[in-house]
Amino acid sequence: MENFTFYAPTYFAFGKDTENETGKYVSRFGGSKVLIHYGGGSVVRSGLLERVKDSLKNEGIDFVELGGVRPNPRSGLVYEGIELCRKEQVDFIVAVGGGSVIDSSKAIAAGVLYDGDFWDYYEGGIVEKALPIGTVVTISAAGSEGSADSVITKEEGMFKRATTGEALRPKFTIMNPALTQTLPAYQTACGITDILAHLYERYLTNTSEVEVTDRMIEALMMTMIHEGPRVIEDPNNYQARANIMWAGMMAHNNSCGVGRTQDWTSHDIEHELSALYDCAHGAGLAVVMPAVFTYNLQHDVNRFAQVATRVWGCQMDFSNPERTALEGIEALRRFLTSLGMPCNFAELGANPEDIEKLAHTACYGDVNDGSLGGFVKLNQKDVENIYRLMV
């Protein structure tokens, strides 16, 4: 295990009706004028937005609203939010929605306290100062409710970039699993896929002797495999929703990622798909992950065989561990398909003619030497080959 620091001071309120406490938590964390940020309308239709507003009113907290965050949130609305917060002297942001709303809130929170263009942070900066934010989560997926990250799509060029910074971790997060019961099955499945991806990105490591985090990741993966089909079968299964919701947070607040190198190849490759084709991030990952894992298999056959046996219940073939490793990837693919996820470019609505462009944009990303990947270092040609495996 490598040296690490870990500080994740988000206050979590979990369970039924907890959204009615939003005002109380805003007061507790020092907010007096709030921006309520939300998406395309699900929280209006479900009545959640009204309940959140009522709880702020009950605490005597003044607020303004900005809805309209789209999945794969755009830079344009962030600029609007920054302006609104400055004009209204907002000192606290409450995100009511999923990862897109939370990420847009984080971008606004950082931008309000920054003199330059907020996008600078998404070109490689670390956010050190931001307005405090709280979240009321409506989908188990991105894990942004416990993470220090934010992902925004730049409208000029339609590409996605991420930033990070401890200042972006929510001060509080309200998690009522019942709020996720209104999700369409497809979005629920996208969320489960994203959670599994966050676990794989950490599992695929070059650090040895990380038994504790390996085992934590395996437990969370097995929870998703158990609970995923149960919520697709019965969307009102509160207990299954609850397990998925907490697993989704733990999968990405980095408690499972400390002390080990991480990969993030699948995310870097997927982000270009959801930016260009506006598909759901989880759906993109369902197509990307099996291709990336197959391409990277030879780098560490034993690690892929380990997840195959410990998580997917494959029998270890000691004379041919590669076969076991491939069985594990196949089991993942079958699981995702059974949830209703796409498995290739066509099902995702992606165009093979864009592959060179996709690979180019993906490689310009997090690592500026034109390569990506923490598990296996991949250049643009490798990334193109991986996209081709998805066609």
Residues that bind Zn ion (CB under 5 A): 194
Q: How far is the CB of 323 from ligand NZQ (least distance, A)?
A: 31
Residue 248 β-bridge partners: none
How far apart CA 323 and CA 175 sit, in angstroms, is 41
Q: Are strands 92-97 and 62-66 parallel, antiparallel or unpaired?
A: unpaired
H and E: helices and strands count for the chain: 15, 10
Amino acid identity for residue 8 in this structure = A
Residue range at the interface with ligand NZQ (CB under 6 A); choices 51-59, 67-75, 253-261, 310-318: 67-75
Our CB check for Zn ion shows the closer of 194 and 263 to be 194
Residue 93 per-residue DSSP state: E
- Which of ligand NZQ, Zn ion, none has residue 165 at its interface (CB below 5 to 8 Å by kind)? none
What phi and psi values does residue 35 have, to the nearest 5 degrees?
A: -100, 120
Residues 263 and 295 sit within 8 Å (Cβ to Cβ): no
Q: How far is the CB of 257 from ligand NZQ (least distance, A)?
A: 12
**How many CB atoms sit inside 10 A of residue 99's CB?**
31
Our CB check for ligand NZQ shows the closer of 81 and 310 to be 81
Q: Which of residues 119-178 bind ligand NZQ (CB under 6 A)?
A: 138-139, 141-144, 147, 149-151
Structure tokens at 287: 């197509």
Q: Is 265 in the site for ligand NZQ (CB under 6 A)?
A: no
Q: Which residues of 301-333 are buried (b: 16+ CB within 10 A; e: fewer)?
A: bebbbbbbbbbbebebeeeebeebbbbbbebbb
Q: How far is the CB of 317 from Zn ion (least distance, A)?
A: 31
Q: How far is the CB of 184 from ligand NZQ (least distance, A)?
A: 7
Q: Is 341 in the site for ligand NZQ (CB under 6 A)?
A: no
Contact mark string toward ligand NZQ, 244..263, x via CB under 6 A: --------x-----------
How far apart CA 360 and CA 348 sit, in angstroms, is 20
Q: Which of residues 79-118 bind ligand NZQ (CB under 6 A)?
A: 97-101, 103
Q: How far is the CB of 142 from Zn ion (least distance, A)?
A: 6
- Which of Zn ion, ligand NZQ, none has residue 150 at its interface (CB below 5 to 8 Å by kind)? ligand NZQ
Residue range at the interface with ligand NZQ (CB under 6 A); choices 57-65, 71-79, 210-218, 343-351: 71-79
Q: Is 179 in the site for ligand NZQ (CB under 6 A)?
A: yes
Q: Please, how many CA atoms are within 13 Å of residue 247, restricted to the half-sphere of its CB?
A: 28
Q: DSSP letter string over 33-92? A: EEEEEE-SSHHHHTSHHHHHHHHHHHTT-EEEEE--PPSS-BHHHHHHHHHHHHHHT--E
Contact mark string toward ligand NZQ, 293..332, x via CB under 6 A: ----------------------------------------
Our CB check for ligand NZQ shows the closer of 136 and 363 to be 136
Residues 134 and 26 sit within 8 Å (Cβ to Cβ): yes
How many chain residues touch ligand NZQ (CB under 6 A)?
37
Our CB check for Zn ion shows the closer of 61 and 197 to be 197
Residues 146 and 198 sit within 8 Å (Cβ to Cβ): no
**Interacting residues toward ligand NZQ by CB under 6 A:** 39-43, 71-73, 97-101, 103, 138-139, 141-144, 147, 149-151, 179-180, 182-183, 187, 190-191, 194, 252, 267, 274, 281-282
